[in-house]
């Protein structure tokens, strides 16, 4: 890939999806490349083929953690080099000429249907799930399906030629999704991405297992406390290698370039059974309300 060529960044879903919004927000000059799913993002970036990075959702303000992505991070050898936060704005859209009263069937991803639950309860519509929000709009457009509407982003509605019947139907007006940017070890971040700034707070993400004995997790978390490192998030996922044991995921306010942080993680490695650092990267700025 030449230096003049735009980076190609993979995302899961359709054109117009929130994942594509994340690519465009993180690297406006990049080429956003849709693939079928989260696993396909990991495989596409791991295999190269001109793809510089991938963007994946990790948590939503309303629906919480995207646990499949945590599992795939452990399964593959990619590293986290950035994050971006995308506001979740949902609209009610259909083919031109439709009205709210003419709609009988509504399509969207199950999470989007839940995020617009208050609005969707206002009428006796049949609610049917699809694989993602933008995909529901594409399906209606390709079928030219009358009497059907999609719950999706305004940009996705425009991409598929749908008319917005009702804007901003999300129940939580400040809902947003945090996306991670992953790449292969040793590969520089996409050139279109914002240059790291020392003044921006940084986050370090790690996964660890602890000994199956009293106080083991407490001792590990005590290492972070003693080093003065704030823990943003602690998440547990079942270990796929041993029954009834768990992997603990930690997001810490920590810059791995600092010697004191490196020393703290060396102590944490000694206190835990296994420790894997997934990345240390600049925190995303919160979008304006």
Catalytic (active-site) positions: 177, 179
Residue whose entry in the numeric block shows the structure tokens 């599992």: 71
Q: How far apart are the first and last CA of the chain?
A: 38
Locate all alpha helices (DSSP H) within the chain, ordered by sequence.
18-26, 38-46, 67-75, 110-115, 117-120, 133-143, 154-159, 216-226, 259-271
Report yes or no: 210 and 222 within 8 Å, Cβ to Cβ: no
Cα-based distances in Å from 8 to 24, 43, 155, 183, 276: 11, 14, 21, 11, 27
Query: Closest by alpha carbon to 202, among 287, 289, 285?
Result: 285
Beta strands (DSSP E) in the chain are 8-12, 31-35, 51-60, 64-65, 79-87, 91-94, 105-108, 126-129, 148-152, 163-166, 176-183, 202-209, 231-238, 246-252, 274-282
The residue behind tokens 């199956």 is 212
């Amino acid at each position: 890939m030449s230096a003049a060529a735009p980076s190609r960044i993979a995302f899961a879903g359709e054109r117009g999806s929130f994942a594509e919004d994340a690519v465009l927000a993180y690297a406006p000059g990049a080429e956003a490349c849709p693939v079928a799913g989260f696993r396909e993002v990991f495989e596409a970036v791991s295999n190269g083929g001109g793809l510089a990075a991938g963007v994946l959702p990790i948590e939503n303000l309303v629906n919480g953690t995207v646990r499949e992505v945590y599992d795939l991070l452990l399964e593959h050898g990619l590293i986290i080099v950035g994050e971006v936060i995308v506001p979740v704005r949902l609209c009610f859209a259909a083919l031109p000429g439709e009205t709210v009263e003419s709609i009988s069937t509504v399509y969207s991803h199950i999470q989007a249907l839940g995020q617009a639950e208050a609005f969707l309860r206002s009428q006796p519509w049949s609610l049917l799930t699809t694989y993602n929000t933008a995909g529901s709009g594409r399906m209606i457009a390709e079928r030219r399906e009358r009497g059907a509407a999609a719950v999706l982003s305004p940009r996705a509605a425009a991409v598929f030629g749908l008319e917005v019947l009702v804007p901003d139907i999300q129940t939580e007006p400040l809902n947003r999704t945090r996306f991670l940017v992953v790449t292969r070890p040793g590969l520089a971040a996409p050139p279109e991405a914002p240059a790291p700034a020392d003044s921006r707070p940084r986050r370090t993400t790690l996964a660890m297992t602890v000994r199956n004995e009293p106080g083991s997790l407490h001792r590990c978390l005590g290492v972070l406390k003693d080093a003065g490192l704030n823990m943003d998030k602690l998440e547990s996922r079942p270990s796929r290698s041993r029954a009834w044991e768990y992997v603990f995921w930690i997001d810490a306010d920590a810059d791995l370039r600092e010697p004191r942080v490196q020393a703290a993680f060396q102590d944490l490695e000694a206190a835990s059974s296994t420790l894997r650092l997934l990345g240390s990267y600049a925190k995303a700025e919160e979008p304006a309300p």
